[in-house]
């Protein structure tokens, strides 16, 4: 009987410890994509909702991408989509890639 009690207490401690570790897991920072247009009629800072931004780091392909799209954008002065594609993001030095920013109706 004491062996059974010790086993039960050990199981309770293991389950409690595992639950505490799962709860303490570090959460990733939110995805942020900030677009700054310095001049012109659409000048301003645009910050899409972080919950709608998709980020992808494809190490094998040596690419880093971040993108957002508003499928309901119909106003010509509203940002409809934004994306960045960086080539060789882990190489030292200047980074090169493509940026796409679209305003108004995405179609």
Nearest one of 71, 79, 74 to 101, comparing CA atoms: 79
Instruction: State the residue for tokens 């090169």.
Output: 96
More confident residue, 73 or 3: 73
pTM: 0.65
Is 86's pLDDT higher than 90? Answer: yes
Is 105's pLDDT higher than 90? Answer: no
Per-residue CA distances from 54 to 15, 22, 27, 82 (Å): 35, 25, 16, 11
55 neighbors 82 (Cβ within 8 angstroms): no
Beta bridge partners of 79: 103
pLDDT at 65: 93
């Amino acid at each position: 009987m004491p062996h059974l009690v010790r086993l039960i207490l050990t199981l309770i401690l293991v389950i409690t410890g595992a639950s505490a570790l799962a709860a303490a897991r570090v959460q990733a920072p939110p995805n942020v994509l900030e677009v700054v247009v310095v001049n012109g009629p659409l000048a301003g800072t645009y910050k899409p909702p972080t919950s709608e931004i998709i980020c992808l780091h494809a190490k094998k392909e040596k690419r880093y991408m971040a993108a957002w799209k508003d499928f309901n954008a119909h106003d010509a002065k509203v940002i409809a989509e934004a994306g960045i594609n960086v080539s060789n993001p882990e190489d030292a030095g200047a980074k090169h890639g493509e940026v796409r920013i679209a305003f108004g109706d995405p179609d």
